[in-house]
Chain A
């Protein structure tokens, strides 16, 4: 009893300390990153690794009880609402015209690989114009 309890305690503390560490890292990223788009990614570290590890740690402390059931439901709920909220913020910024700072040489490289990928399937028809229709 005490031995297994000790192992569970150690595991839950690892999860709680690890989750807290990810929360701190995410907060540091939120400050260090230069602008809006990169900062969004720092937040996604917070709400995936940080919160999930904290919930796992608390669930291990709770054992097989109603508290753990609530924590599991909370975790599932956060897995749906977290990305939805992040997407809502990103989409609102995108629609209102804020564009991420992309280096021009990177943009060219990606356009080249995308063109190579789309060139493969048709190949036969000449195509009225190059480039995407959108």
Chain B
């Protein structure tokens, strides 16, 4: 079943990316899909580590839309900082507590922080659910803004049984 799913996705990707529907090219596509499936099966037999996408799909779309708006706002702020005559840089490393249940959720949170101009996730604290974030124009409201983003990421994580 998983094999069939991967085959469909890979074949669809090839057809969309190539755009040339001659027998030779499509045949080469089928061949590479088969090769990729063979290699992934072998890899799976070796490490067996399967990441699961534990996000609710519709809520994730909503989050991505919200994130794009945040990115736009932050871009504006950093662009103003770059172009201002005095460049009021106020650098800071913040400890941001994460509330995500899954590794994938934590990754999404850290990547969202980096994607937003003005903040970069630098390091995680060993054994704790804390991300160290570097801010270029620190503001007292940053703690609350980052916590808000963390809550939104936690909200789109699917409920996990056990």
Given the known interface contacts A25-B83, A42-B82, A70-B16, the answer about A49 and B118 at a Cβ–Cβ threshold of 8 Å is: no
Find out whether the CB atom of A100 lies under 8 angstroms from the CB atom of B95.
Answer: no
Total interface residues in chain A, CB < 8 Å: 46
Q: Taking the complex as formed, is B65 at the interface, i.e. its CB lies under 8 A from any CB of chain A?
A: no
Contact A70 B17 (CB under 8 A): yes
Interface check B7, CB cutoff 8 A: no
Interface residues as binary, A58-75 with B (CB distance below 8 Å gives 1, 0 otherwise): 000000001001100100
The interface size of chain B toward A, counting residues with CB under 8 Å, comes to 40
- Does the CB pair A48–B117 fall under 8 Å? yes
Partner of B91, one of A22, A38, A70: A38
Number of A-B contacts (CB under 8 A): 122
B75 lies within 8 A of chain A by Cβ:
yes
Is B71 in contact with A83, judged by CB distance below 8 angstroms? no
Q: Does A13 contact B (CB under 8 A)?
A: no
Cα A28 to Cα B87 in complex, Å, equals 12
The reply to whether A134 and B78 form a contact with Cβ atoms under 8 Å apart is no
A102 touches B82 (CB 8 A): no
Segment 21-42 of A: residues with Cβ below 8 Å from B = 22, 25-26, 28-29, 32-34, 37-38, 40-42
Question: CA–CA, A118 to B89, complex, Å?
Answer: 27
Starting from the known contacts A25-B82, A44-B78, 17 additional A-B residue pairs (CB-CB under 8 Å) come to A22-B75, A33-B89, A38-B89, A40-B134, A41-B78, A44-B116, A45-B75, A49-B79, A52-B71, A83-B111, A87-B110, A91-B122, A94-B122, A100-B134, A106-B92, A110-B94, A134-B125
Pairs A–B under 8 Å by Cβ, sample size 8:
A73-B16, A82-B115, A83-B110, A84-B114, A87-B111, A91-B123, A94-B132, A106-B92
